[in-house]
Amino acid sequence: RPYIGIELIELGLVYYIYMLHLCIFCTNSINILAGINGLEAGQTLVIAMSVLAHNLGMLNTTNETLRDAHLFSAFLMLPLITNVVALLLFNWYPSRVFVGDTFTYFAGMTFAVAGILGHFSETLLLFFFPQIINFVYSIPQLFKIVPCPRHRLPKLDPDSGLLNPTPNMNLVNLTLRIFGPMKEESLCWTLLTFQIVCCIAGFAIRYALAGKGVYKPVS
């Protein structure tokens, strides 16, 4: 706004296309950053808690419509968080319960609905930064530019118990290439720590932009 001198820009059809792609991205992004015990549920928990914290922080706004939108989002996050915590008790390494497409699609769509109806879809994408990196890095395989197997998992060394990277292009294998082979639980903690750091950075970026007047939520 302060740089282009325009208070509001009517996006029209472009915004509806953006929302459609946001729904598609959210429902698939958690599904493709997966494959080790606790990762899908863990990243869902971190993002959900970040969204809830953002919602609670926005409840002091004087805009009643915006406050109600964030309250609605918070009502979606609370049951999601409690369910994921219960799931993690069984899904953490060594897992006794495995999540599949049903959970990842459900979690992703819940975030998309919360972000769109809560009027903070831009902030939501900041919390999805690891998923964005994973998607961009995976594009050559996802679009069949290079061969893409059905499962793009790291390889377990049965002698050492360590996971080794495979040629597949995703954040899980990239982490192993950067930090070297590691135990599955350690790998999950590394990825979830990155998720937490990115969510904290997302808060910093969002509120820094808001302080400069670049970002201003509207109803």
pLDDT of residue 193: 98
- Tell me what pLDDT residue 219 has: 42
Q: What are phi and psi for residue 156, nearest 5 degrees?
A: -85, 130
Query: Residues 168-209: pLDDT tens digits?
Result: 999 999 999 999 999 999 999 999 999 999 999 999 999 888
Question: What rounded mean pLDDT belongs to the chain?
Answer: 91
Compute the distance between CA of residue 29 and CA of residue 68 in angstroms, rounded to an integer: 28
Q: Would you state the structure tokens that stand for residue 95, as one six-digit string?
A: 């897992």
Whether this model's pTM surpasses 0.85: yes
Residues of the chain with pLDDT under 50: 219
* Confidence (pLDDT) at 11: 75
Query: Do the Cβ atoms of 203 and 50 come closer than 8 Å?
Result: yes
